[in-house]
Structure 1
Amino acid sequence: MATIRIPIPMRTLTGNQSEVQATGSTVGDVLRDLDARYPGMGARLFDDKGAVRRYVNVFLNDEDVRALKALDTPVKDADRITLIPAMAGG
């Protein structure tokens, strides 16, 4: 299982856990499993077309998945996925 680091604004969905685990062979599979385990997470992560929302950054072992294969990026059991919501303001 991959380990997913959950940002503070999303921890209400995971019972205030900062890290959780989910399964899947790709980043997209892991994030969909995360939503199945913690309902409501998918609405925070995915847009209406199933893509990661623009304001959510997803990293696989410190690499932005947008620079890899996005949701099709392969995941191994020992991998760490970090979710970082973009900040706005001035």
Structure 2
Amino acid sequence: MIEVHLWSSLRSLTGGQQVVEVEAATTGELLKELVRLHPGLQAPIDAGVSVAVDGRIIATGLSEPIPEDAEVYLMQRLRGG
């Protein structure tokens, strides 16, 4: 079971939960399971989110493995200009 810490703006889509638990082995599975459990997360995930695993932003795609004891954060993608 992976604990996913949610960025504050995403918490309203999970009933205010700061941390949700999912079964996932990769970043792609993590996102798919989050949407299955909390369908309201579909739009922000489609718009673009960042997944941080043990302090490292995953930018390599959806097949990045997630260790069982990893610290995982889901954040809305930061945009700047």
TM-score (norm 2): 0.83
Structure 1 window deviating more from structure 2 (71-80 vs 13-22): it is 71-80
Matched, 1:57 2:55: no
Deviations along 1:20-51, one digit per CA (max 9) or x if unpaired, are 1111110110111011111121221125xxxx
Query: In the TM superposition, what whole-angstrom CA distance separates every residue of 1:57-83 from its partner, at most 9, and x where no partner exists?
Result: 2211111101xx321101122122212
Indicate the percent of aligned positions where both proteins have the same amino acid. 25
Number of corresponding residues: 80
The DSSP-based 3-state class of the residue aligned with 1:46 is: helix
SS in 2 for 1:40: helix
Aligned residue for 2:39, secondary structure, equals: coil
Displacement, 1:87? 5.3
RMSD after superposition? 1.8
TM-score, scaled to structure 1: 0.76
Residue type matched to 2:58 in 1?
V
Q: What is the match of residue 14 of structure 2?
A: 14
In 1: Cα distance, 2:53 partner to 2:42 partner: 18
- Helix, strand or coil at the partner of 2:21: strand
